[in-house]
Amino acid sequence: MRIESELLKGEKIEKILTPHPLSFMHLQAVWVYILLFGIFLWWTANLSQYSELFNPWISVLSLWWIGLILAGVVISLILIRWRYFFLYLVILSLGTFLAWKYNYLSTGSSLSFFILIYSICISFIIFLGVYIFIKSHRYIVTDYRIIFKGGVLRRRERTLRYDKITDIHGTQGILGQIFDFGTIIPITQSGFGLGSDQAFAGGGIETRAKRFGIFGFAGGAKEVKIPRARSYYELHGVHPYREVKRLLEELVQGHVITPYQKEQVELQREQLELQREMKELLERQKELND
Amino acid sequence: MDLSIIDTFLLAPFAPLLGLLLFWFTQLILSESLKYLMRKIWNKHRAFCRFSNFIALLFQSISHALGYTLTGTGVGEFSVSVSGAKVEPKREKKGFALFVADLFLVMGPFFIPPVLIFLILLPFLSIQVQGSCGSFSSCFISFGSMLQGFGLQFLSLLANLDMFNPFHIIFLIIILMVGLGIRPSFIESEERRVGMIEDLAKIKEMICSHYIFIILILLLFFFIYYLSYFSGINIYTLMVSFLGWLSLISVISLLLAHILVLLIISSDRVGGMRGYLLFLIPIVSYLICRSIFHVTNYGLSIPTSNAISIIVTLFTVILVFKVKTNKLKIGEEMVAGKERKDEDRE
């Protein structure tokens, strides 16, 4: 009902889309890893053949910290976003504080049990957060435009008219191919939907001979423009991918002036000019008669 | 005339090869049967079927790429998707190099994926050369003994898989993936199915177009056999047995994949939320068995729990098939077509 009130006169909704839950796999991986590592740690400390090694609580705590910190660093390096590292750091610090506060830092077994329960709780909270974030996305495809809506606390909205779209870029990963979802980025003339990948290489050398120093530095950078947008401003992980892409292509094509239509417009313009000239001539004639 | 010379020098090398051929054919039939079952669940479980197809295409393209790499052709382009795979050579080669690359493409998917499982198992196996190979029968016995030795070890390891051990669960998942990914169900389009006949046709085409190389490979096998025979070290049977072991791993993986797909089919037959409960049967039965055996301090807790869990699952699947369908023709007696028509009219 609310969406319909936002529509223009005569505007018709073609599709209302939300991202597929698996399209945000990098976010899902954050809680999945915490949960699996918590289970693994509990199993190692209690049921595995190496459980004796984990009798002292410090060995369990060390393994937990190493496992999560390393994962945080790897995820952050791959995604070039350090927020994941800091998130893991906060989770570890809070967990260690709680374990200390409630006296779980006594034996390896009790600490591993605490870590298991804590991991389940934290994973559930992150899962809820991810779920809310995914559900906050809404893409409304109408016959006039695409309305991108989203945001959990801050509402974001953008509308894109089909006549402004120059390219449609689509990507489908392996999971996307299996579950039939994909990301479609409409690129506009203004560059909306374009991002860049940057690479920089540099090197320096310094030599010192007694009091004199020579310093040299050489570097270079490369930038490649690629289709990229925030998940709120692209059709992220939409299902069914092929159907949505075809619909968009048809809608964009429908808003492009064809050569025949162009000819018609030119003809109408000429006719209009002719009528204006005739009108002027008639007015002049009337003046002369008067 | 003493025919033992013909037996020793001409027929004996064929014995392990025929044994291998038998195992490979079992593998081919089982993969076809799995594909048949997959087609049954295609519409309802498209994602699962696409996943298995992707695994199969990945294995196939890895085998093809391996063929190009080993022949020195090099891999120019490599891409795998759910519906197709592309492996382009770096440079065009003809003759033996092309034949080997094609051989890897056609036969590789049957033998290369199980290598992954074999490598995981290697530290836990004791490989021994059993018997001697001097005649057709002794070669066959030696091949069978080696296969039996490996099979028993492999089955014993499988039976002792502890479902409370995350590494064992990962190993089981790998086995299932190998089973599901021996051959793809479709290439390019989901409508274009790939079956056993197509595989056999490809092999026939390869043999017909490169029969000289096939003879050369046979001669190589004979050479290795003579080397083993005169040196007294049975490397020939060991070499063929290795391929037999890989085939055996594939067969067992395929059988386990069958259980999984049958469970999905029976879950579909039940339908609704009750259908999902069927997936809990192997887990719940396993947990109950482990708990009982833990309390009673039973020594063979893990293998017995695994066996009971599989038997209970299979029994449930059969029960569902019996109750929900008459596929097994045990629900009611078969009636003649004419009588059935009369009943319908009534």
SS3 assignment, position A13: strand
Nearest to A145 by CA among A19, A20, A14, A17: A14
Could you tell me if A180 lies within 8 Å of chain B, comparing CB atoms? yes
C-alpha to C-alpha distance for A244 and A222, rounded to whole angstroms: 34
| pLDDT above 70 for B325 | no
The answer to whether the CB atoms of A177 and B47 lie below 8 A apart is no
| pLDDT above 80 for B345 | no
Beta strands in chain B (DSSP E): 75-80, 85-89
- Residue B25 — very low, low, confident or very high, per pLDDT cuts 50/70/90? very high
- B54 vs A contacts (CB less than 8 Å): 174, 177-178
Query: Which pLDDT tens digit goes with each residue over B54-84?
Result: 999 999 999 989 988 888 888 888 888 888 8
User: Which secondary structure element, helix H or strand E, spans residue A135, and what is its range?
Assistant: helix A108-135
The answer to whether the CB atoms of A179 and B47 lie below 8 A apart is yes
Query: Which pLDDT tens digit goes with each residue over A248-270?
Result: 999 988 887 777 777 888 899 99
Give yes or no for a contact between B68 and B101, defined as CB atoms under 8 angstroms apart: yes
Given the structure tokens 């479902």, which residue do they identify? B163
Distance from CA of A130 to the nearest CA of B (A): 22
Q: Where do the structural domains in chain A lie, given as residue ranges?
A: 2-19+137-254, 22-134, 257-290
Question: In chain B, positions 23-52, which contact chain A (CB-CB < 8 Å)?
Answer: 46-47, 50-51
- Residue B174 — very low, low, confident or very high, per pLDDT cuts 50/70/90? very high
Q: Which residues contact B221 (CB under 8 A, 6 or more apart)?
A: B13, B17, B236
Predicted local confidence at residue A238, as pLDDT? 92
Question: In chain B, positions 243-302, which contact chain A (CB-CB < 8 Å)?
Answer: none
- Residue B179 — very low, low, confident or very high, per pLDDT cuts 50/70/90? very high
For residue B13, whether the previous peptide bond is cis, meaning omega lies within 30 degrees of 0, is no
What average pLDDT does this structure show over B307-328?
Answer: 82
| pLDDT above 60 for B336 | no
- A36 vs B contacts (CB less than 8 Å): 166
Question: In chain B, positions 160-219, which contact chain A (CB-CB < 8 Å)?
Answer: 164-166
Given the structure tokens 């891409």, which residue do they identify? B79
Instruction: Assign domain A2-19+137-254 to a CATH class.
Output: mainly beta
- Return the minimum-mean-pLDDT range out of B181-195, B250-264, B326-340: B326-340
The answer to whether the CB atoms of A43 and B166 lie below 8 A apart is yes
| pLDDT above 80 for B7 | yes
Of B47, B164, B165, Cβ closest to residue A178: B47
Q: Which residues contact A257 (CB under 8 A, 6 or more apart)?
A: A265
C-alpha pair distances (Å), A83 with each of A31, A92, A254, B128: 14, 14, 42, 54
C-alpha to C-alpha distance for B155 and B152, rounded to whole angstroms: 5
More confident residue, B193 or A167: A167
Predicted local confidence at residue B183, as pLDDT? 84
List, for chain A, all residue ranges whose pLDDT scores fall below the cut of 70: 1, 200-217
Predicted local confidence at residue B191, as pLDDT? 65
What average pLDDT does this structure show over B207-232?
Answer: 89
- B166 vs A contacts (CB less than 8 Å): 36, 39-40, 43
The neighbouring-strand residues paired with B89 are B75
- A92-101, B87-96, B314-323: which is most confident: A92-101
What average pLDDT does this structure show over B307-317?
Answer: 91
- B187 vs A contacts (CB less than 8 Å): none
Give yes or no for a contact between B106 and B199, defined as CB atoms under 8 angstroms apart: yes
- Residue B332 — very low, low, confident or very high, per pLDDT cuts 50/70/90? low
DSSP single-letter state for residue A258: P
| Tokens linked to A279 | 């009108």
- Residue B94 — very low, low, confident or very high, per pLDDT cuts 50/70/90? confident
Give yes or no for a contact between A193 and A187, defined as CB atoms under 8 angstroms apart: yes
Could you tell me if B59 lies within 8 Å of chain A, comparing CB atoms? no
Give yes or no for a contact between B176 and B259, defined as CB atoms under 8 angstroms apart: no
- Return the minimum-mean-pLDDT range out of A8-17, A102-111, B223-232, B323-332: B323-332
User: What's the gap between Cα B291 and its chain centre?
Assistant: 33
| Tokens linked to B116 | 């992954």
| pLDDT above 90 for B193 | no
SS3 assignment, position A60: helix
